[in-house]
Amino acid sequence: MSLRDAFRRGLTRLVASRTPKLSADEASLQKPGASVPDGERARAGRWLEAFEAGRLTPPRNVRDAAAWDAYWTNHLDVGPMEQGFSDMMSSDPTLAGLLVDRGTRTVLCVGNGLSSEALAVALLGFEVTVLDISRVVAAFMDNILTNPASRLREIPGFVVASDGIVRVTGDGAIDPDLCPPIHRSTAHTPRRGGSLTCVTGDLMEPAICPGPFDVIIERRTLQLFAEEDRGAALEALVGRLADKGTLISHQHNGGWRPGQDRRHYARDWLQGHGFVFEHAAGSEELAGCPRLASLRYSTG
C-alpha cells in the first residue's frame, strides 16, 4: 500500500463514519491542534473524488512547470490534507540535532511543495531557501507568511521584508505552539535568527539557487525522475552543496513488501561520489566527514 493509498483509506473511513478528524490546512499548519471546520468531511469527500479522477497524481514530466501548477492547484482546491499527512510521516525529532552537529547555517529545500518543513526549519534558526518548480507553491507560502491574522505574527522579530524574504530577527527561543509541528524536539526547540526565501525554478538549472548550501533536503522529489535521469538530478543537487555539506534524501516505496531489499535508490551513486552515510558513521566521523548523506526511507 502506498502512502497516498493509506491516506485514501483513512479518508474513506472518515467520509463513511462522518467523524471529524484534524486536517492540515493552512490554519492547522499555523496553529497545531486547531479544531476542524464543519465542512472538513465534505472536503475529505472532494479529496477522494479528485484522487479517483487522477487530478492528484504527480506529473509524468517532472520538469513541466505548468503541470505542477495544475497539480498543486488541484491539491489546494480540496485542501492540503495529504501534505499534512505526509509531513506527519516525515517528521523527525533528530533532524535539528543533525543540522546543529554538522555546523549548519544554510539549508536548501528542493521540491518543498505545500510542506511546512521549510518554515519549520527556518524557525529552528536556520537560513532556509525553498526551490520549487511551481509558482503555486510560492503563492501558497506567500499567503501564509503575509497573512496578518497568522499566529506567526506573534513570534518576536518576525518580519516579511519588501524583497519577500522572511526573517526572524534577534535571539532567543520561540514558543513551539507558534510553529509547525514537523520535526518538533525537546532537545532543539525553535529559536530566532532564521530566515525563509522562496524561489521558483527548475532544479536542473544550475544558475538557480547555485549555493553552496550546508544542507540540501529533498523528499520524494528525485525519485519521480526517470531512472536514467536520476544521476543527472543528483549531480545538479550535489553541485549546490558546500564542500562539507549534508544531503538528506527521502524515498518512499509504497510497493515494498517484507522480505524485499530496502535500498535507497541514491545509495550507490552517493557512495561512488565519496559520501559517508549517517547511520554508518561514528560521532566523530559524523561531525568531521567532508560530505554526509542522510538517507530516509519509508514504506507502507
Per-residue model confidence as pLDDT tens digits over 255-297:
778 888 888 999 999 999 999 998 765 656 666 788 999 999 9
Q: What is the DSSP string of the chain?
A: --HHHHHHHHHHHHHHHT------SHHHHHSTTPPPPTTHHHHHHHHHHHHHTTTTSPPSSTT-HHHHHHHHHHHHHH-THHHHHHHHHH--TTHHHHHHHTT--EEEEET-TT-SHHHHHHTTT-EEEEEES-HHHHHHHHHHHH-TT-GGGGSTTEEE-TTS-EEE-SSSB--GGGS-STT--SSS--BSS-EEEEEES-TT-TTSS---EEEEEEESSGGGS-GGGHHHHHHHHHTTEEEEEEEEEEEEETT--TTS----TTHHHHHHTTPEEGGGS-HHHHHH-SSEEEEEEEE-
Q: Decide which of 285 and 30 is more confident.
A: 285
- Domain positions in the chain are 3-82, 89-299
Q: Considering the chain, what is the average pLDDT of its residues?
A: 86
- CATH topology for 89-299 is Rossmann fold (3.40.50)
The pLDDT value given to residue 33: 41
- Residue-wise pLDDT for 124-182, tens only, equals 999 999 999 999 999 999 999 999 999 999 999 999 998 889 999 999 999 999 999 99
Q: Tell me what the mean pLDDT of segment 78-85 comes to.
A: 78
pLDDT greater than 70 at residue 15: no
pTM, whole model, 2 decimals?
A: 0.85
